Homo-oligomer: A and B are copies of this chain.
């Protein structure tokens, strides 16, 4: 099996071990979860985050229930699994990978003969959860191998937010090319935007790159434009939350400004995301709803209030970057280059893979 740079989640047969991301980067603490209830609490309480990782965690939560209930009669077993699925489904309302992973677990349960033993069903559910995990590892590594061809010796790479190992099974999306490059002996440097309001860059990206021995420098989000305009960035890699058929895409707020700066200076700007991030039913970025999150994320930093009492704040979580600012999309199915309005649809459901 592939050895990822970081292991935010591990299946340990009778429990699941996760890194508690709430206390990073101060301390690296693991939580051992033995029940789907504990897993639901961990997801809801954001002990782990990142859409791909949430999906994996939910699937493993169902597998934990199967292990616990393997001694039940078949009816009781199916009933308990259904309850665990419902519980895990309620943890985060918007993470599409969560529903996708739980649907896969449900399908694994429902396939096969209706009179299979709970032992066989348990084995099948555990295997499905591990498949989801391993497929994600494989996809991350594949995207890393595609992206590494874009990196040259000595490059300075800029990234925003945490689209790293901690958001996935371990390789990340935007950081996957960085990890593969480092393994290939390419000398590089990463500038990590701190990514206000929740500081995923300062806290998580910096932490996971530093522990892999990769040279990382944190900057305030405002300093990205200066770095780009002074020629100190060679290439930009970011993740994506939703990619439309036109190539317009949504990602953490701040991404669009970086894309504009990179474009103005002629710096390549790549989006790294599994093909499941593409919304094949949505044409253009203006149709993507922008989630507005609680103002307290802006008015407070790590629990400390920074604004005067009573002053309001506006907290859009995402922005939309227009396709014309994007150099390419790196997916596990290959590198998608312009014209995006043709080439994105070409990898849609039922279409052949590119290169």
Contact = CB atoms under 8 A, between A and B. Distances in A.
A313 B219 contact: yes
A254 B216 CA distance: 21
Contact of A206 (B202, B203, B227, B308): B308
A197 interface: yes
A220 interface: yes
A106 to B, nearest CB: 37
Interface residues of A, number: 55
A257 interface: yes
A306 B261 contact: no
B222 A195 contact: yes
Contacts of A195: 222
A308 B257 contact: no
A24 B306 CA distance: 9
A223 B314 contact: yes
Interface string A295-326: 00011011011111111111110010000000
Contacts of A219: 298, 313-315
A26 B304 CA distance: 11
Interface string A217-253: 1111111111101000000000000000000000011
A264 interface: yes
A298 B306 CA distance: 15
Contact of A257 (B24, B25, B222, B310): B222
Q: Which of A199, A257, A319 lies at the interface centre, i.e. has the most chain B CB atoms within 10 A of its CB?
A: A257
8 contacts: A194-B307, A207-B311, A220-B254, A222-B254, A225-B257, A225-B260, A229-B256, A229-B319
